[in-house]
């Protein structure tokens, strides 16, 4: 059997007053704690603790006697059971008036006002004189019972720049309740947590604010005149713009049918009055986190939608674009058959194959060769030979990409690269020597591994700097980007003459890098194909970058 409207109304009003008593007491304690320790703290904490304990007794009495599942109550029993705890609240409020900080006296008056209101509702005696004086000090904008609407609060605290303890904006929360003190307790509690807050005194005003402001979360009372919480949930669900705003019900009507109905109508959660501050913080944080994830999902879907529209637009010219791509890929495939990757990319990106025409340019040439490879390949299994070459080539490939070298010649156990063509670069000899030193470091590690596997292999490097003739060479079906000149032969012969692990460079290369590298003169060496001996220099190491 459902309770009468009078029982429901009385229960609702009494629970509201309990919410005011306990909520304001907890806020005073937290404000004092934030202000730092003081001489009155022990007495204040004890007094406010007694107020909260008395509030819990009132809550237990109201819950037991005004049973929402029953149809009546014993008025005399209610009056008698509430007399003592409400008397303690009023007495403690009067005693604490001289202990609390001046700025908390008004809040203490709200506690006394709530207790007086609860006492009057339960048919109890008049409040003590000291409590009456506290209530009389409340601001004029309060209603006759000390708990009415206050002018101006609604439009004042909704600034989005409000931030949490760590400085971040934690979101805008709309508090909806026809009881001004309930709104005040929630607004102050949320403000302490770093949320921006706006308030609405009824459901109609709440819907107006939800449509006009970027509200992140709604804390909604259920029992309100005119447009109640159920009506707000229904209107919210019917409006596509409001449907995704999470809503938590905070109501004295915490019976199971009311809770179930609210959840079925789209509420995220339901908290009873008086609410637990820790539980409120957890529920609000969880709802806002879910909203943040939904907003991110919505943004992602919007992005996907925009991309789909762009794709549809792009498809209108797809045939022409595909034809262009096929033509370009064909050119790239033809060029990559005989050009280095960077040269092929340059030709395709510029659309000018003139770079392949024969020309002269000052370049640096580097030769690297595996020493001992012939004997190794004659005495080793093919699988071992291929494993060594694979490691050798992989390391060289990484170095070529790192130093942006152009591959001119590639054999199983050796390679020739050059710098400053077709892509110009500053100080090509310096770059060639730095690549050679990097080769020595990395190939030295490989050589150690090879020796552990029983392979007696080393490497040698030669670098020369000078003019050469470059351009496209070959025949139909097989072209190469060739390099001709004594600088190429000189680099190759220096590589042949170098000892394992040694980097020999030509005199002109030495002149270009002597400020950047530590060198030692090897002396004049006879090189095959050169009439006169050539002075050679060994690169010991690099100095700091210039």
CATH class of 357-542: alpha beta
Give 172-294's CATH code, choosing from 2.40.50.100, 3.40.50.2300, 3.40.640.10, 3.60.21.10. 3.40.50.2300
Q: Are 206 and 173 within 8 A, CB to CB?
A: no
Residue matched to tokens 């490879």: 373
Dist CA 192 CA 186 (whole Å): 10
How much is the pLDDT for 124?
A: 61
Q: What distances in angstroms separate CA 244 from CA 214, 219, 290, 320, one per listed residue?
A: 12, 14, 11, 44
Q: Classify the C-alpha dihedral 108-142-86-67 as positive or negative.
A: negative
Spatial CB neighbours of 422, under 8 Å, sequence gap ≥ 6: 342, 343, 346, 355, 406, 470, 481
Q: Which residues pair with 524 in a beta bridge?
A: 535
How much is the pLDDT for 126?
A: 58
Read off the DSSP letter of residue 354.
G
Read off the DSSP letter of residue 356.
G
How much is the pLDDT for 504?
A: 97
Q: Hey, do 172-294 and 357-542 end up sharing a CATH topology, with the first three levels equal?
A: no
How much is the pLDDT for 348?
A: 67
Dist CA 317 CA 500 (whole Å): 59
How much is the pLDDT for 344?
A: 66
Spatial CB neighbours of 281, under 8 Å, sequence gap ≥ 6: 193
User: Would you kindly state where each structural domain of the chain is located, as residue ranges?
Assistant: 5-136, 172-294, 357-542
Block means of pLDDT (10 residues each) for the chain, length 546 residues?
70 85 86 68 82 86 76 78 87 82 83 85 64 56 36 38 50 92 90 91 92 92 89 92 90 80 90 86 89 86 86 78 73 58 66 76 96 90 93 92 87 90 90 96 92 92 96 75 92 95 96 95 94 95 75
Q: What distances in angstroms separate CA 429 from CA 391, 398, 440, one per listed residue?
A: 26, 19, 17
Q: Are 127 and 98 within 8 A, CB to CB?
A: no
Q: Whole-model pTM? A: 0.50
> Which regions of 380-457 does DSSP assign to beta strands (E)?
406-411, 414-419
Q: What distances in angstroms separate CA 402 from CA 61, 348, 406, 435, one per listed residue?
A: 80, 21, 11, 9
């Amino acid at each position: 059997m459902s309770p009468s409207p009078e029982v429901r109304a009385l229960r609702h009003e009494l629970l509201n007053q309990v919410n005011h008593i306990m909520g304001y007491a907890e806020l005073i304690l937290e404000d004092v704690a934030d202000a730092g320790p003081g001489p009155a703290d022990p007495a204040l904490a004890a007094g406010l603790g007694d107020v909260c304990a008395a509030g819990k007794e009132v809550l237990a009495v109201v819950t037991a006697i005004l049973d929402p599942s029953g149809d009546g109550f014993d008025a005399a029993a209610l009056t008698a059971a509430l007399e003592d705890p409400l008397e303690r609240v009023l007495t403690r409020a009067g005693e604490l008036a001289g202990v609390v900080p001046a700025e908390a006296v008004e809040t203490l008056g709200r506690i006394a006002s709530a207790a007086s209101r609860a006492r009057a509702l339960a048919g109890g005696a008049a409040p003590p004189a000291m409590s009456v004086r506290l209530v009389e000090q409340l601001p004029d904008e309060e209603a006759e019972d000390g708990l009415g609407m206050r002018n101006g609060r609604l439009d004042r605290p909704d600034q989005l720049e409000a931030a949490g303890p760590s400085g971040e904006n934690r979101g805008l929360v709309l508090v909806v309740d026809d009881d001004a003190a309930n709104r005040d307790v929630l607004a102050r509690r949320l403000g302490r947590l770093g949320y921006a807050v706006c308030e609405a005194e009824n459901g109609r005003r709440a819907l107006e604010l939800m449509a006009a402001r970027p509200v992140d979360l709604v804390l909604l009372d259920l029992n309100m005149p005119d447009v109640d919480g159920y009506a707000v949930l229904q209107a919210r669900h019917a409006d596509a713009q409001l449907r995704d705003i999470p809503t938590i019900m905070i109501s004295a009507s915490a019976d199971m049918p009311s809770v179930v109905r609210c959840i079925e109508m789209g509420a995220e959660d339901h908290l009873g009055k008086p609410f637990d501050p820790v539980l409120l913080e957890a529920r609000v944080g969880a709802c806002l986190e879910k909203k943040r994830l939904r907003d991110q999902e919505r943004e992602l879907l919007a992005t996907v939608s925009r991309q789909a529209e762009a794709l549809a637009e792009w498809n209108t010219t797809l045939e022409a674009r595909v034809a262009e791509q096929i033509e370009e890929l064909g050119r790239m495939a033809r060029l990559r058959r005989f050009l280095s990757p960077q040269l092929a990319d340059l030709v395709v990106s510029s659309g000018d194959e003139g770079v392949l025409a024969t020309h002269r340019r000052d370049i640096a040439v580097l030769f690297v060769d595996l020493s001992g490879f012939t004997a190794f390949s004659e005495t080793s299994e093919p699988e071992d030979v291929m494993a060594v070459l694979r490691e050798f080539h992989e390391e060289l490939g990484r170095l070529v990409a790192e130093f942006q070298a152009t591959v001119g010649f590639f054999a199983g156990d050796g390679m020739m690269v050059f710098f400053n063509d077709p892509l110009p670069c500053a100080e090509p000899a310096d770059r060639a020597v730095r690549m050679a030193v990097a080769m020595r470091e990395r190939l030295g590690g490989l050589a150690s591994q090879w020796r552990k596997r029983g392979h007696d292999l080393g490497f040698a490097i030669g670098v020369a700097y000078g003019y050469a003739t470059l351009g496209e060479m070959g025949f139909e079906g097989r072209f190469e980007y060739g390099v001709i000149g004594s600088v190429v032969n000189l680099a190759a012969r220096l590589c042949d003459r170098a000892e394992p692990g040694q980097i020999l460079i030509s005199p002109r290369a030495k002149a270009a890098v002597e400020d950047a590298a530590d060198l030692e003169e090897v002396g004049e060496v006879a090189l095959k194909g050169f009439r006169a001996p050539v002075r050679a220099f060994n690169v010991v190491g690099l100095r700091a970058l210039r």
